[in-house]
Structures are given as structure tokens and as C-alpha cells.
Amino acid sequence: MKRHSLIFHVPLAITFLYGLSHPANAEEDPLAVITASSNFDNSVPAILNYAQQEQGKPSSGSVQVAPKTQKRVQASDKKSSLDTKYSQQQGWLTQKDATIRQLQMQLADKNAQEETFSQKEEELTTQIKALQTQLGAQKLQNTELADVQKQSALLEAQLKEKGTQLETLTQKLNDNQQQHSTQVSTLQEQLNQESLAVKAKEAELAKITSDFSQFKDEAAKKSAVVDLKLVPQQQAYSIGVSLGNDVLQELNTREAQGVKVDRDAALLGISDVFKGTLALDESTRNKSLAAASQALYENLSKAESQSIKEGKLYQQKFAKQKGVEFKEGVYSKIDYAGQEAIEPEDTVVIVMKETLTDGTVITDMDAAGKVWSQPLSAYPPIFSGPLKRLGNHGSITVVVPPDLAYGSKGLPPKIPPGATMTYSIRVVDVIKKTK
């Protein structure tokens, strides 16, 4: 508002100053008056030009030097001229006063408008700030809304994934239920078959029990007849015991070799042989024996391969120990040396502990309180060589590979086929040969 007041005040001051030398009509634009007055000659009174313009005539006068012989103007004429100028000046001042008031009113209107504009500008500024605040809040809401939308999309994706997992689990459950039903049916069928087998076994057991009872009755009758005080009866009984031991040893051997033998059925077969009433024909018996032999062969082959593999690993590990020697095809390590050299004809008394590579004890003479005695030359080479290096009262460990021990057959039921054997030998005493 001060900016506009300055612009309007300056023209008014200039107009007032220049108006004294250029009277103008009240309706004339003050700026036009100023422009016109600027063309007057400053060496000539302005009133002269003004008087010419008031009469509507163009100013034709020019600046001239007055002659020295010019006559004096009379006083009356001078007074009349001054009055006229005064009247004209008074009219011009009135017009100027009106013009000034008009300009002041216009200035007031301009100031009022400027104040209104300033007030509106302030209001607009306030509104803009409020709108900017609202815009910021809206942007924040939009950001929050975008975050919510992202979270919503994420939750939607998770929900979809959970739905897929649920469908998969439902399908798996259905499959499991179906599989369970199938398994239940299979198990039920197996149970029915087992039940039938059990009934068959029960019937067989009943028959065996009956046969055994009959056998016991017959044995009791025969025992009453058999007099074990007589030498022939003692011999016959001893043969029976030997045969029984052989049969029992054979059954134990087959079980150790992986072929399970039903002892009740075997006993029934022996009983039927003695009675002369066989329950199976020869063809069926031969097929059964062939199947048993095939199963036995397969089991022995697997057991031998496993034993050979484990034995080689054990030999390799043992060979890495300090003081181990490899002679006569065996590994040996002196645990502690003897005091006297042993000659081939000396009798060597020893105790021996025989074990498998896994530590299973087969025989332990020391624990059984037994010793072995024979000339050094009579021992197998796998033992005579280590004993000769050992000396009297010494102790040695000998590891023997399967081809120098029990070979592919082993020694059922304790020693499997292809087994590597370990022997801990202690010399109890050496009896020198007398010369």
C-alpha cells in the first residue's frame, strides 16, 4: 500500500507546481497539463500562453526584446488586466482544487482496494497454508493407505499360500487315510492268514504233543525193559546220546549259519523215522532239503564276504602298530619277551586265548585252567615261528588270516566262514630236551 501511495503523490506535487504557469480546464487530465506546460518558454511569463489557450487561440507570440521608446501602459488598463488575470487565476485554482479532491478520492479508493487486496492476500495465504497442511495430511494418509494396501496384498498372498498349503495337507490327509485304509485291509488280511497259520501250528503242536506223549510212554515202557547195568544196553544208550549230541550240534550250527530250524518238527521227523511212519514223501523232503541247502549257501557266502572284508581291515590296522612282524604268513607282535631261547626239540607249555576280530572270545585256556604242551617243532608253522622268536615265559599276539585258520567253512556255530583269528599266547614253561 505504501508503494502505490508514493506513485500517486509524486504526480500530484508536480501537477500543482506546474499548474501555476498553465491554467487548464477542470476536465483535463493533469498529466496532459504537465506535458503541455513543459513546452512553454521559461523566459516568458506562463500566463501569456495560458491566456491565449483560454481563448481557444493558438499561441502565436514569440520572445522579443522590448524597444526602449515603448510607451508606459496606463494605470487603469493595468488594473483591468490584473483583475482579469486574478479572476482567471481564481477559476483555475478552483478547478485545481476540485481535481486534487478527485485524485485524493481516487487515491483513497486505491488505498482501500489495496487494503482489501492485502487482507485477501493474507486470507489466501492462510487458506493456502491450511490447504498445504491438509495436503500433507492427505499425503500421509495416502502413504498410510499405500502401506495398508501393501500389507493387505501381503496378507492376501499369505492367505492364498495358506490356502494352498491347506489344500495340499487336505490332499495328503486324504491320501494318508486312503493309504491307512489300504494298510488296515492288508494287515487285516495278514492277521487272518496268521490266524490260520496259528491254528495250523496249534493243530501241529497238538499232534506233536500227542506223539511226544506216546513216545514218552513207549520210552517208559522200553526203559523198563532196558537195563543200563548191562554192557550192551550201556553201549546202545551211549550211541543214542552221541547221535542226539550230533543232531543238536547240527541244529545249532544251522542256526548260527542263518537257517532257523524248528526243533519240534525235527524231533518229530526223528520220531517218525524210528516209528517207520513218515509224514512227508521223498520228493517233498528232497525239495525241502535243497531249499535249505540253497539258503544255507547264500547265508554262508554273505557271511564269508563280510568276515573277509572286516578281517582285512583289522590286519591292516594291526600291521601299523609298532613292533609288528609279518612272517610265515601271519602278523605277530611280542607283548613282552622271554628270557631263554627255545630250540625246536624243546617242549613248550603254553596257554592260548582265541578271539575273533570283534573281541568275541572262542576259547580261553588260562580262564579254564588248562595248558597245552608239545615240542616246538610239532606246533603249526603259524605258531612255531612266533614262539621261537619269543623265548621262555614271554607273551605274543598272533593275527592269522582265514586261509591259514578255519578257511571258508569256519567252525560253526561260533566261528563264521572267512574269519580272521587273533591268538594271545603265553609261554608257561620250556622243558629242555635231555641229551
Is 278 part of a structural domain of the chain?
Answer: no
In a domain, 404, yes or no: yes
Q: For the purposes of burial, counting CB atoms within 10 Å of the CB of 336, is it exposed (0-12), middle (13-18) or buried (19 or more)?
A: exposed
- Among 169, 201, 233, which residue terminates a domain? 201
- Average pLDDT of span 125-140: 85
> Per-residue pLDDT for 254 more than 50?
yes
Note the pLDDT of residue 15.
Answer: 44
Q: Is residue 126 part of a domain?
A: yes
Q: pLDDT (tens digit, 9 = 90+) per residue, 226-251?
A: 788 888 888 888 888 888 887 877 77
Q: Tell me: pLDDT of 134 over 70.
A: yes
End-of-domain residue from the set 201, 230, 256: 201
Please give the residue that has the higher pLDDT: either 187 or 262.
262
Assigned domain for 228 exists: no
Q: Is residue 361 part of a domain?
A: yes
Terminal CA-to-CA distance of the chain, rounded, Å? 155
8 A C-beta contact, residue 366 and residue 343: no
Q: Is the pLDDT of residue 293 over 60?
A: yes
Asked if the peptide bond before residue 23 counts as cis, ω within 30 degrees of 0, the response is: no
pLDDT(304) > 80: yes
Structural domain count of the chain: 2
The pLDDT value recorded for residue 350 is: 94
> Residue range 199-222: average pLDDT?
69
Identify the pLDDT of residue 215: 65
| pLDDT the model gives residue 52 | 45
Q: Using one digit for the tens of pLDDT, what is the confidence trace for 14-63?
A: 444 444 444 444 444 444 443 444 444 444 444 444 444 444 545 445 44
Mean pLDDT value of segment 311-336: 93
pLDDT of 357 above 90: yes
Alpha helix stretches (DSSP H) within 320-433: 365-368, 381-390
Mark which of 166, 201, 236 sits at the end of a domain.
201
Q: Tell me what the mean pLDDT of segment 122-143 comes to.
A: 84
Q: Per mean pLDDT, which of 130-139, 157-166, 415-424 is the most reliable?
A: 415-424
Judge whether 256 lies within some domain: no
Residue 129 resides in a domain: yes
Exposure b/e, 399-427, CB count within 10 A at least 16 = b: bbbbeebbeeebbbebbbbbbbbbbbbbb
Question: What percent of the chain shows pLDDT beyond 70?
Answer: 76
Tell whether 421 and 310 lie within a shared domain: yes
The residue with greater pLDDT, 387 or 210, is 387
What does pLDDT average to over the chain? 77
Q: CB within 8 A of 353, min separation 6: which ones?
A: 361, 363, 364, 365, 366, 367, 423, 424
Domain range for 365: 304-431
Q: What is the mean pLDDT of residues 68-88?
A: 63
Q: For the domain that residue 377 is a member of, what is the CATH number?
A: 3.10.50.40
At residue 207, the pLDDT reads 72
How do residues 359-371 score in pLDDT, each as one tens digit? 999 999 999 999 9
| More confident site: 119 or 324 | 324
Query: Residue range 254-262: average pLDDT?
Result: 73
d(CA 389, CA 368): 27
Side chain identity at residue 405, one-letter code: A
What is the amino acid identity at position 433? Answer: K
Chain segment 364-398, per-residue pLDDT in tens: 999 999 999 999 999 999 999 999 888 899 999 99
Q: What is the pTM of this model?
A: 0.42
Is residue 396 included in any domain, yes or no?
yes
Report the distance separating Cα 354 and Cα 291, nearest Å: 34
